[in-house]
Structure 1
Amino acid sequence: MTDAGSSGLRAFRDPGSLAVVGASGNPAKWGYWLATGALRGRHRRRVELVNRRGGELLGTRCAPDLRALDRPPELVALCVPPGEVAGVVEDGLAIGVRGFLGITAGVPGETRLAERIRAAGARLLGANSLGLYDAATELQLAWGAFTPGPLAIVSQSGQLGSELAILGARSGLGISRFVSIGNQSDVRAAELLADLAEHEPTRAVAVYLESFTGAEALFDSLATLRASGRPVLLLTIGAATASSRLARSHTGSLTSRLDVVDAACRRAGVIRVDTPAELVDTVRTLLTAPVPAGNRVAVVGDSGGQCGIAADQATATGLGVPAFPSGLAGELGAALPSGAATANPVDLAGAGEQDLGSYADTVERALRAESVDAAVLTGYFGRYTADVPELKAAEQAVAERLGALARRYGKPVLAHSMAEPVALEETLWQNGVPAFGEVRSAVRALAAAARCREPLPRAEIPLPEPVTGAVRGYWRARELVSAHGIPVPRARLVRTRAELRAAAERLRAPFVLKAGWFAHKSEAGAVAVGLPDAGAAAVEFERMYAALGAGDYVLEEQDRRPDVVELLIGVRREPGFGPVLTLGHGGTETELRADIAVELAPVSAETALAMLGRLRCAPLLDGWRGRPGVDRHAVARIASAVSRIGAANPRMTELELNPVRAAADGALAVDAVAEFTDSPEQQETRAEEPPCPHGH
């Protein structure tokens, strides 16, 4: 790992010397595996074993403690009972150890111990780590055995990392580097990942994380890795965990942890997968076949049922199975039997049985089309050799041709086959065609590969000046967004009956009256709409005033435009990730619809347009059942402005516009909620203010 001053991370990659404290000769103990692994690399580095009983283990003399060594080791693996770790660390620091690998879990005062190590100019990996391995430097300090290969694994869960390594080995996918980061008491995942950009044996990176503290630095490291040409795959948990169960806004209650992680992945060019098996399948696919330029898939098979299931599965994973252009469909129809389906999916209707070459012929015709980015072959191919041995040479020749076609056109060909796993390896994988015994695995691997494109360059999006002063209540939130070019209805701030009458004379009915200090006004009876005249507004003001008390009321002109779609646009500061933009179907039923798109802020108007396209309600925006479409560009400009406000204001925890009423002639934000943390000066002022009975 790249050294940076006193960081000392080199000790965890290629130490010049190391010591295993707690070495054992018992194969059932951690000390045995650490010691035997370390000794395998003793031709590259000096290896010391430490056991308080001294003597000899594994043919090597043991020292009773670190202070008894002739020379200090660069790295020390800590495999002693929790209560003894601190003492071993102090001995190591006293003799000049630069790195500690903490295997032991449950170390008392672990945080303070990590601070002590760092203050002394050394580093700690762990504690509660399952160890590390580097194929290039022949460093192994972990349980089990590793097969060298192209995949690097950085895992917060040691055992899950081991599962990835085992699954990879079963699939012929070895490991270039393995690091179990454990509790990250000192060395963090971002540091370890940043170094892999220069690790020559690594061709792909697998990451498992449960927590995303310091996510901005972490995803910067992942983006750097991706920019180096290595695919990066992330596995995590928490799909059902809301970012804030007690969030005041729709933005906070709708956004899940994975929504934010996915947004960070998109910006960094990282592929998120759901299971260890999917991760290994995807890595193998990416290292075997070309990366698709898009998500348009041709499905080819020798069974209508299997073709249909493959198409359904592809669509469910986000791939497209578009109908072929008439020219391609006609070409296929001329080449295949009369009963063949040729529009996509393509059912060969027995052509494969008559001539095995028709599989490759059909796939080639599809790959030649500009409207196709990849092909999935589903069904019997791959099994002919097992059932009809005389066809082995012919089937092998077709498999070789399929791989050659993928390389020639730069488009992947994946297969789902009824063949046995060994046959798939021999017939398809070895020829550059990723093949699976279950169709869902094939299309999920392809869908993940389709997301493996270079991260888009981050456009320089200018930010406004930060907001000064307090931002409390609806009126101030209106002023804030209006000052940044976001359209709002004409309105007046009113606190008394006289001010209400004066405001009604200057505005056009019908009116909306709001008690501006409520975030969710409908639930509190703090909003009245459709007030036809000043008299009705006065009656409603009297009712609200009696029920809710004095405060900042707002009288607005009601938006009366027809064919409006209500949207939500909000930005929220997520711990570790920074500002996150949420765009979704809005109104009072926002949470019921749960139709949102999420990206890290700030975003351009172009990105906001793409977010609108991801919503389930997108057809409403284009016009539904004869209604006119809305001005998407106006909505996108508002979304971009909201994202820039959030990115420019570190004190802003949340800004939400709901609803934004979008119509053919533009968009209007008719409600807004802003949450800012107080500056030190404001906190001091608020401390001197008497408490307000209504909380505003």
Structure 2
Amino acid sequence: MTGLDAFRDPASIAVVGASGTPTKWGYWLARGALTGSARRTVHLVNARGGTVLGQETAPSLRELPDAPELVAFAVPGRALGAAVDEALARGARGLLAITAGVDDEPGLAARVRRAGARLIGPNCLGIYDASAQLDLVWGRFEPGSLAIVSQSGQLGLELAGLAADAGLGISRFVSVGSQADVTAHEVLTDLADHDATRVVALYLESFGDGHALIAALTALRRAGKPVLLLTVGASDAGRQAARSHTGAMTTATDIVDAACETAGAVRAETPARLIAAAQLLVRAPRPTGRRVVVVTDSGGQGALAVDLVSRAGLLVEPLPHTTRTAIATGLPPQAATANPVDLAGGGEQDLGTYGRVVDLVAASGGADAVLMSGYFGSYGHDIPAQQERETEVALELARSAVRYGLPVLVHSMARSTTTTEALRAAGVPTYTDIETAVGALGTAARLAERGPVEGVEPAEPGATGGVPAPTPAEARTPRSADPRPPDPPAGPPAAPPVPFGYLSARDLLAGAGIAFPPALPVTDLNELRCAAARLTAPYVLKADWLEHKSEHGGVAVGLGDATALEAAYMAMSLRLGPGRYVVEQLDRRPHVVEMVVATRRDPSFGPVVVVGAGGTETELWRDSVLALAPCTHENAMGLIARLRCAPLLAGWRGRPPVDTGALADTVVRLSRLATARPDLLEIELNPVRVATDGLLAVDALISLTGVTPAAVTCAGDIPTR
């Protein structure tokens, strides 16, 4: 198969279905194609012949004097297949199908690939490349440095419209539509060496080969082109919640966020927030940390800004004393100089105060970003005599940002004035509400923390393949909601005949290096008495086959001697029926913190590992974090540190710290096991009891896919802490 060269800067284009009627797709494709006619040959094809937009049309591709490199189709769905075949017969290398409602899209894509060509679409909104004068899309774009790749054509247009409102132009726009052939990750990879693109906006509804997507995002990260991702629904995992505690604790967007963290991208929550962050990333130096200094001419606006900055996880730290002294010079006595800096009317007395104070803050070494909030931007509009001076100060703000290499953002009460336009033109991101400005700073700070790929410097402002996606979870080991042992399945099992009750799960996990208390299986009173003699009281009794034992009365804890154990067994077996039970030694270590460690297999991104607050209230606290598997010990320690319950592990109110390193080791081992075993859909250890001298897992849940298991070679040696 060829690459995507035909979609970058084709030597010739043919528009099939060209029209002179502005309400038709054929008009917009023809109009756009003709804007590049000085750069390439443009053919218009219309079955009726005649003239379209002043150019003679051909009745079919067969009538063209030469083979077009790229063909764009604006034809009904029923006619697309024949039109594509005709284009392939003429030797076209790139095909762009706007058409929706196409039968047998996979078959159409297969014919295209067999011919050595590539297809974008069907059901897409077109492509645009400013530097190549390639315009095959509905609407009109202004050239710029923001690339948009969108699975939804209309949402892509919304992003482009919001960008235009913010004064941002488009470098490349690709609506991938159905992705019958060309995928979003291929388009993203192709942007890595696209000189005009500085920032990429990406909208996806489904992720397909998640590994290939991560490779594409990583390639863009290497090229110094940050990616802002917008999504909904995220993955099948989010729409089909698992039956484990883990499934209730995590969402599909958690998995997407983990993938973004791996690749160095950031997910935005709305189109408006994405474009707000893009404005900062396109125009300004990128922050290198989280310290924000707020400069304002209003005490109320300054206080609100500081609250929002803190809530966004950014830092509000006092400025150095020497800087505060310098700022105070020339300001009214009631001015505040720590952080926020309140000019207290000083800006009205002398507009140059804004520039002077921002420059002092930027030079102080105490800020990674400066956020100015208030009236600035309105002076020239309200008092025309002040317009020239306000514009001069706007340029001073831009020079401070460049001089000290940090972003200066302006939240202005003015909607659109000569000054706000001057700010944006000079490279100062400007916003009409403070919340949007702070959100943009938070997004940029997260990107900065993810940094460039190790050993690769980011590009100055101005083809990777994918690993096959993990096999989808097509079948799971049947489970019964009835708290009794399930009947044997009829006929041969679809999955390997591994009865993943608690003891079987223990055996598999112990082989991967997970520690459990001593335990023995029992099926009758004689075995129970033998187990009591071999183990040390107090005991725990469990029904081996139950998923959530406490919810069905399938666990008895703290049985102090053999008599208590026997009584518990008689009561439990009478209620739940015969089956395999487990006698286990009770973990009596002091100062224990209960945690959950688990894995899930996502259809797009493969196995993810989860760590969080555990026990019977796991879903209640919903305190968990996750990462793509496998992970390193350092990654695992970073995940644990992000938990709200992390202070409990570090020693809370005089309690000794527990062995967090052992917890991290368990996260690593479980992540490696999930990576090596595609037959494991879910693994859950809940709770794992972490004490000062290590960790013990006291319950385990495993569910299967229909995939044949590989040998367990994943545990390996965990690096010495």
Compute the TM-score of the two structures, normalised by the length of structure 2: 0.87
Kept after mapping to 2: 8 A contact 1:267/1:456: no
* Alpha carbons of structure 1 residues 521 and 34: separation in structure 2 relative to 1, 3 Å: same
Aligned to 1:674: 702
Distance of 2:102 and 2:334 partners within structure 1: 70
Whether contact under 8 Å (2:280, 2:429) holds in the other structure is yes
Q: Does 1:94 align with 2:81?
A: no
Q: Check whether the contact 2:234–2:256 (CA below 8 A) recurs between aligned residues.
A: no
Cα distance between partner residues in 1 of 2:571 and 2:355? 77
State whether structure 2 residue 51 is matched by structure 1 residue 56: yes
Letter in 1 for 2:188: L
The answer on 1:175 being equivalent to 2:137 is no
Q: How does 1:535-684 map to 2 (within 5 A)?
A: 535-677=563-705, 680=708
Cα gap change, 1:588/1:343 in structure 2, threshold over 3 Å: closer, same or farther?
A: farther
Q: Which residue of 1 aligns with 2:25?
A: 30
Matched-pair contact (CA < 8 Å) for 1:223–1:455: no
Give the 3 Å change call, closer, same or farther, for CA 529–379 of structure 1 in structure 2: same
Q: Deviation at 1:188?
A: 0.6
Query: Which secondary structure state, in structure 2, belongs to the residue aligned with residue 563 of structure 1?
Result: coil
**Letter of the aligned partner of 1:35 in structure 2?**
A
Show the counterpart of 2:5.
10
**Letter of the aligned partner of 1:124 in structure 2?**
L
For residues 510-552 of structure 1, the C-alpha deviation after alignment (integer angstroms, 9 at most, x for no partner) is 2211112222111222111121111111122222223333433
SS of residue in 2 equivalent to 1:178: strand
Specify whether residues 159 and 678 from structure 1 end up closer, same or farther in structure 2 by C-alpha distance, changes over 3 A only.
closer
Q: Is the 8 A contact 1:241 1:256 kept in 2?
A: no
**Alignment partner for residue 473 of structure 1, among 490, 495, 501?**
501
Equivalent residue in structure 2 for 1:276, among 258, 262, 271: 271
- Give the Cα–Cα distance (whole angstroms) in 2 for the partners of residues 477 and 270 of structure 1: 36
Separation (CA, whole Å) in 1 of partners of 2:529 and 2:273: 65
Tell me the secondary structure at the aligned position of residue 198 of structure 1: coil
**Could you report, residue by residue, the CA deviation over 1:491-528 in whole angstroms, capped at 9, with x for unpaired residues?**
22333322222222232222211112222111222111
Taking the aligned partners of 2:644 and 2:319, their CA distance within structure 1 comes to 25
SS in 2 for 1:149: strand
Give distance in 2, aligned partners of 1:637 and 1:458. 24
AA of the residue aligned to 1:129: C
Q: Call closer, same or farther: CA 1:19–1:430 in 2, change over 3 Å.
A: closer
Partner of 1:689: none
CA spacing shift, 1:666–1:375, aligned 2, 3 Å: farther
**Identical counterparts, % of pairs:** 53
Name stretches of at least 5 consecutive residues in structure 2 with no aligned partner.
456-495, 711-721
- How has the CA–CA distance of structure 1 residues 239 and 90 changed in structure 2, closer, same or farther, with 3 Å as cutoff? closer
Which residue of the partner structure matches residue 40 of structure 2?
A: 45
Structure 1 match to 2:475: none
In 2: Cα distance, 1:55 partner to 1:395 partner: 57
Which piece of structure 1 moves more, 329-338 or 202-211? Answer: 329-338
> Quick check: 433-442 or 324-333, which moved more?
324-333
In the TM superposition, what is the alpha-carbon distance from 1:329 to its structure 2 partner?
6.2
Report the residue type matching 1:218 in the other structure.
Answer: L
The alpha carbon displacement at 1:130 in A equals 0.7
SS of the residue corresponding to residue 547 of structure 1 reads helix
From the superposition, tell whether residues 669 and 331 of structure 1 become closer, same or farther in structure 2 (CA, over 3 Å): farther
- 8 Å CA contact 2:146–2:282 kept in 1: the answer is no
SS in 2 for 1:529: strand
- Compare relative contact order (CA 8 Å, sep 6+) and give the higher one, 1 or 2: 2
Question: In 1, are the aligned partners of 2:4 and 2:190 still within 8 Å (CA)?
Answer: no
2:281 to 286, 300, 317: 286
Question: Are 1:77 and 1:102, in contact at CA under 8 Å, matched by a contact in 2?
Answer: yes
Using the TM superposition, name which of 599-608 and 550-559 deviates more.
550-559
Q: Which amino acid aligns with 2:98?
A: I
2:263 is equivalent to residue 235 of structure 1: no
Q: Which secondary structure state, in structure 2, belongs to the residue aligned with residue 452 of structure 1?
A: helix
Greater displacement, 334-343 / 278-287:
334-343
The C-alpha deviation readout for 1:278-337, integer Å capped at 9, x for no partner, is 222212211221111122212222222111211222223232224556776677678865
Question: How far off its partner does 1:191 sit?
Answer: 0.9
Q: Deviations over 1:163-217 (max 9, x none)?
A: 2222222333211111111111111111111111111111211111111111210
Give the whole-Å Cα distance in 1 for the aligned partners of 2:273 and 2:709.
52
Residue 156 (str. 1) matches residue 139 (str. 2)? no
Cα distance change of structure 1 residues 658 and 424 upon mapping to structure 2, 3 Å threshold = farther
Q: Is the 8 A contact 2:287 2:407 kept in 1?
A: yes
Counterpart in the other structure of 2:120: 125
Residues of 2 paired with 1:658 and 1:272: CA distance? 30
Residue number in structure 2 paired with 1:687: none
Please, which moves more after superposition, 145-154 or 618-627? 618-627
Q: Which amino acid aligns with 2:595?
A: L
> Aligned pair in 2 of structure 1 residues 485, 32: CA closer, same or farther (>3 Å)?
same
For residue 254 of structure 1, what is the amino acid of its counterpart?
M
Mapped partners of 2:706, 2:148: distance in 1: 42
- Distance in 2 (alpha carbons) for counterparts of 1:410 and 1:166: 29
Q: Following the alignment from structure 2 to structure 1, what is the Cα–Cα distance between the partners of residues 341 and 431?
A: 19
1:187-586 correspondence to structure 2 within 5 Å: 187-238=182-233, 243=238, 245-323=240-318, 337-453=332-448, 454-455=450-451, 457=453, 470=498, 472-586=500-614
* Equivalent-residue separation in structure 1 for 2:229 and 2:577 (angstroms): 52
8 Å CA contact retained: 2:51, 2:57: yes
Shift in Å, 1:52: 1.5
Over 3 Å counting, the alpha-carbon distance change for 1:430 and 1:645 in structure 2 is same
- Deviation string 1:626-662 (CA, Å, 9 cap, x unpaired) is 4333332222222122112212222221111111222
Q: Please list the CA deviations of residues 134-190 of structure 1 after superposition, one character each: whole Å capped at 9, or x if unmatched.
A: 122222111122211111111111111112222222333211111111111111111
Once the two structures are overlaid, the 10-residue window that deviates more, 125-134 or 419-428, is 419-428
Post-superposition shift, 1:589?
1.4
Aligned partner letter, 1:642: L
Contact 2:394/2:419 (CA < 8 Å) preserved in 1? no
Shift of 1:73: 2.0
CA RMSD of aligned residues (A): 2.7
Aligned equivalents of 1:589, 1:495: Cα separation in 2: 30
Q: Bigger CA drift: 116-125 or 258-267?
A: 116-125
| Residue 694 (structure 1) aligns with | none
The SS at the match of 1:150 is strand
2: CA distance between counterparts of 1:296 and 1:74? 51
Determine helix, strand or coil for the equivalent of 2:417. helix
| 1:145 aligned partner, one-letter code | R
Change (3 A) 1:457 1:533: farther
State the AA in 2 paired with 1:483. G
For residues 243 and 216 of structure 1, the distance between their equivalents in structure 2, rounded to whole angstroms, comes to: 18
Q: Distance in 2 between matches of 1:365 and 1:668?
A: 55
CA distance in 2, matches of 1:473, 1:479: 10
Give the partner amino acid of 1:382. Answer: G
Distance in 2 between the 1:106 and 1:113 partners?
Answer: 13
Q: 1:136 aligns with which of 117, 131, 134?
A: 131
Cα distance, 1:245–1:89 mapped onto 2, change above 3 Å: closer
The change in CA–CA distance for 1:44 and 1:367 in structure 2 (over 3 A counts) is closer
Task: Report the Cα offset of residue 259 of structure 1.
Answer: 0.6
Alpha carbons of 1:394 and 1:143: their partners in 2 closer, same or farther (altered >3 Å)? closer
The 1:61/1:423 distance shift into structure 2, 3 A limit, reads closer
Contact 1:268 1:455 in 2 (8 A): no
Cα contact 1:383–1:423 (8 A) shared by 2 = no
Compute the displacement of 1:596 (Å).
1.4
Contact 2:598 2:610 in 1 (8 A): yes
Which range moved further: 621-630 or 12-21?
Answer: 621-630
Q: Which residue of 1 aligns with 2:473?
A: none
